[in-house]
Amino acid sequence: MTEAPGPAVRPPTASRQLGFLLSVWWKHMRRRARRVGDAPKRAGAPTLLLLNLLSTAYMVSFVWRSVTRSVEHEPGFFAWHMLAVLSIALGTGVSKGAGALQLRGMRNDAFLEPLPLAPLARIALQLADSFFVIPFAIAVPIAAGLAQDSLPANLLPAAALGVLAFLAFFWLGQAAVAWARALGPASTPRISGYVGVGLNIGGMVGAFSPLGQIFDHSRGLATQLTRLWLAQPRAQLGLAACSVALVLLAYRALLAAERLGFDRIDAQHRAPKQQKGVRDRVGLEWQMMLRQGGRALLIVFLVFFFVAGVGGVWSFWKLSARSLPPSSLLILAGFAIYLGAVQTIAQAGRAARSDLLARPFLAALPLSPHHVLDGKARALRRLLSPVLVILAMLAGVAVFQGEFSNAYRIVLALCALYVVVDGTISVAFLSNGIGVAGVGGGQPSSGFSTQLLMMPLLATVAAPSDWAATTAFLAVALVTRESRRAAHKSVRWLDDSSDDLERETTVWRALLAATGFFTLQALTYQLLAFDLPPGYKLAVSYGSGALLLALLTWRNGARFERPRFLPNKLVVWPLGAIGGALSGLLALWLAKLFPPPEAADLPSALSTGEVLSLFFTMTLAAPLVEEYFFRGWLQKAIEADLPATKKHWAFALGALAFALAHLGSYGVPQLVLGLLAGALYAFGGGLWPGILAHAIHNGLVLLAGS
Amino acid sequence: MTDSADTPANASPSVAASAARASSRAPAALVSVVGLGKTFSGAVALDGLDFELHAGEVVGLLGPNGAGKTTTLKLLLGLLRPSQGHARILGLDCTHDSQRVKERIGFTADEPQFYDFLTGRETLDFVISVRGLDPVAAWAALAETVEVLDFVSQLAELTASYSHGMKKKLSLLCALLHRPRVLLLDEPTNGLDPTTALRVRELLRREADAGAAVLLSTHMLDMADRMCDRILVLDRGRKIAAGTSDEVRAQAGVAADATLEDAFFKLVGA
């Protein structure tokens, strides 16, 4: 008698299974978000959300405005380029699929394995798992559009199409891997990892190569190549940023895929044996990274990175794109801060725990993420300090000799790249708890923080002035540092929710609020008020900023302590008045010596209404809003964050931020004013004297201007 | 039925019982493995493994780390594709028909992982629905097992808060709820307290007596000695001994009253 399979209970159809799967997955994700999401919420989620909305809106409007050329001019090239982008998308999807596949053992849904789940349902779950790709899917078509200046005139449908196409190809790639896993050989994950990287590199090379010109034919190849390379610096820029980021991502996914081999060794307890001879932690990291990634791949990656880097540097050298508006830097930075930080926090919190749990032998080694992280941070500081000295020197050169500007930008960009990559590695260390993955973090999605951090990097090179580029670099460094800290904190908090994050994140929140504040101002200045005479524009812009502050204060959205207005001491009043007058005079004197770049914007002929509006904005609204913000919030926040012995430096740092925000007019008088108002606030305990000084300063400048 | 759980504790009745069981039941094996091998990029994890598993049998897979125990179980589940040979469960090919195999077997992983933010009850509800079982009937059938495993109060907790042992229990419940005829268990009692481990052993024995075939990998030699009808000892992917624990002792060349541990050390050359 042969054993009949027997009428086992038939599992439901694939679609019903999918229903169960999604509902249970959603329940899990929602609860997880509630738990893990509390960490970013404590870091000021309402502010972050607002910021995100504003920056997205601005990005869209910015692209809308910047795209001038129609696709009709170079249809063949456009088609080729889109092909390349889609290949990259496909490769990313494949890589993600491969990474996820390999991580299955570490994923919390490993218990799904023995269930009779239909392949279709599994694939659908994979798709649902990729929701986080959406911001990236939006960013890539935008970057592509920026790069080529050749999106169709009707941008919105084209952008939507680009997003859809990207998502589609991304998911296609993932689904292909999932299918291959369900039906194909056991080597699928490894193979798909290679395929993913291949597609990415193919897409990137395709995008850079002159092959696209064949589509556009009729003109000489060499001429076309030169024209393409030199005439479209932004093409190099956008594509370089995107492609490097994509390759990083693909490489991460591949390393994750490679980790299967590592898992196997791990499972067979061979790993501890191999580590016996390794005394040096760095040596251990390096050894494990090599084992995970494979030497050949590492070399391929490094060579590729080098080639892309050299190409990028060369194109930056020729860079003449100064067309990005300064405010867009803040937008880009804000966008990156939000997405990068939230992603990082969410990923790191989960991953550090589950991965450490999944690899107990690593947890037992003196390789704890905190150790590794601290070590990395120390090494970074050591490495960065000479870099900062050189930067400062170069900055000096750049100020006095415009010719060095491009060289300075290159150095800045390289430093920013270094900081970004290093920061991401550190965060990956933390999020993987294993400290050896290098760029190949275990979580396929944690790569997005890198890509999002790439955006301020882009801003570093494309900034309209060297000052703005420096600011962007500082933003990159700050974002990286804060991401790292946020990841740290959230992990700690997840382990022990009684640990209070709130007090420590004040500067972080203040800076986010600042970005939101300037974003809104820029947005209203550029968009809402574009038809108004220049005199009213400023009023609308400051009005919106005031509105935001009022809203945040009213709902206590940013959860700052409300600042006091009335000072404790009488003496600060006359000090404020005198100081304001002096700094105003200084501003006038400096403006005579070095006409500030903003001067061109000042309207020559104004109506009475405009004059009145300008007067009220400059002497009332602006001082009120800015003092409230820079002194009332930022200075207080910095003070709370500084160690007890250094609290008195808060006013100087606040003033520096104030000056940086006024780089358009060189910021020197503003630094003086900021120092004065900050000192008055710290000494007198109230905002009014600072506001008075600010109003007098602005009033003097305005009077002299008109 | 109840004393049968204790039967394997004494060596000789165990042999008789298993022999009787083997002869009284149909010879067709629920699980048959023929020349099964698996190579991971050159490294041989499993080399030509043959064995059969009959209804009512509890078979233990023993072996040092890296011997191929988990690989065997993964191959049977269809998670890995064999490099050579094949495995059949209930007449279905484990590789090409893994979907139908999964419908009919229960499996517990070595390191069970669940959705952290579901409770144990929700997890079981989910498994019940994905398997297409009637929830009321399934829960009614499960109630006793839950009771036996002392898991009632933990059902309402999130699995994130579970200890390793609790996850093992939940994993076991997931594997048992559809009353499969074949159970593949990777270290089922690892991390359980002695009382629960004993209960799990009784539970598995009862499943076997009800006609199920149980294949479990374990490092707990005394447990294997007491509860398994047959033992397979693997080392570096090869089967180095097989049979009842007495037969294994004989193959190892240790005295009949020696512990299985002694036999094991002798076999793997430790």
Cβ distance of B99 and A8 shorter than 8 Å: no
The answer to whether residue A17 neighbours chain B at the CB level (below 8 Å) is yes
Give the other-Cβ count within 10 Å of A486's Cβ.
25
Q: Is B61 within a domain?
A: yes
**Residue among B28, B81, B92 whose CB faces A1 most closely:** B28
Amino acid at site A257 = A
CA distance B159 to A23: 17
**pLDDT recorded at residue B126:** 87
Interface A-B, measured as beta-carbon pairs within 8 A, has a size of 128
CA distance A301 to A323: 33
Tens of pLDDT, residues A552-586: 676 655 556 677 888 888 888 888 889 888 888 88
Give the other-Cβ count within 10 Å of B168's Cβ.
28
The answer to whether residue B196 neighbours chain A at the CB level (below 8 Å) is no
Q: Is B161 within a domain?
A: yes
Q: Is B42 within a domain?
A: no
Chain B residues with CB inside 8 Å of A358's CB?
Answer: 111, 113
Q: Is B33 within a domain?
A: no
A351 to each of A250, A253, A328, A345, A408, how far by Cα in Å?
Answer: 19, 15, 33, 10, 38
**pLDDT recorded at residue A450:** 39
The yes-or-no verdict on residue A602 having pLDDT over 80 is no
Highest mean pLDDT among A54-58, B190-194, B207-211: B207-211
Question: If we measure between CA atoms, which residue out of A599, A622, A603 comes closest to residue A611?
Answer: A603
User: Which residues 6+ apart lie within 8 Å of A204 measured at CB?
Assistant: A84, A88, A239, A243, A246, A247, A308
**Residue among A28, A118, A186 whose CB faces B81 most closely:** A186
CA distance A330 to A334: 6
A301: confidence class by pLDDT, cuts 50, 70, 90: very low
Closest-CA residue of B relative to A266 is: B66
Task: Give this complex's ipTM.
Answer: 0.78
Q: Is B47 within a domain?
A: no
Closest-CA residue of A relative to B180 is: A8
Token pair listed for A144: 């592509």
Cβ distance of A27 and B131 shorter than 8 Å: no
Exposure letters A81-107 (e unless 16+ CB within 10 A, then b): bbebbbbbbbbbbbbbbbbbbbbbbbb
Q: Is B35 within a domain?
A: no
**pLDDT recorded at residue B33:** 92
The answer to whether residue B93 neighbours chain A at the CB level (below 8 Å) is no
Tens of pLDDT, residues B10-43: 444 444 444 444 444 445 788 999 999 888 766 7
CA distance A562 to A553: 7
Highest mean pLDDT among A489-498, B4-13, B132-141: B132-141
| Domains identified in chain B, total number | 1
CA A493 to chain CA centroid, Å, is: 23
CATH at residue B140: 3.40.50.300
Pairing mode of beta strands B84-89, B92-93: antiparallel
Chain A residues with CB inside 8 Å of B105's CB?
Answer: 114
CB B32, CB B58: distance < 8 Å: no
Question: How many helices (DSSP H) and strands (DSSP E) are in chain B?
Answer: 10, 10
Domain residue limits at B230: 56-81+92-268
Tens of pLDDT, residues B241-257: 888 888 888 888 888 78
**In angstroms, what separates the C-alpha of B256 from chain A's closest C-alpha?**
32
Chain A residues with CB inside 8 Å of B133's CB?
Answer: 9
| Residue of A9, A15, A25, A111 for testing the chain B interface, max B β-carbons within 10 Å | A111
Question: If we measure between CA atoms, which residue out of B69, B83, B85, B5 comes closest to residue B231?
Answer: B69
Q: Is B43 within a domain?
A: no
If contacts are CB pairs under 8 Å, which of residues 112-141 in chain B contact chain A? 112-118, 122-123, 126-127, 129-133
Q: Is B27 within a domain?
A: no
| Residue of A26, A28, A31, A181 for testing the chain B interface, max B β-carbons within 10 Å | A28
**Mean pLDDT, range A618-631, rounded to an integer:** 84
Amino acid at site A640 = A
CB A441, CB A454: distance < 8 Å: no
**Residue among A109, A116, A268 whose CB faces B115 most closely:** A109
B235 to each of B47, B69, B241, how far by Cα in Å?
Answer: 10, 9, 9
Chain B residues with CB inside 8 Å of A267's CB?
Answer: 66, 70
Chain B residues with CB inside 8 Å of A5's CB?
Answer: 90-92, 100, 104
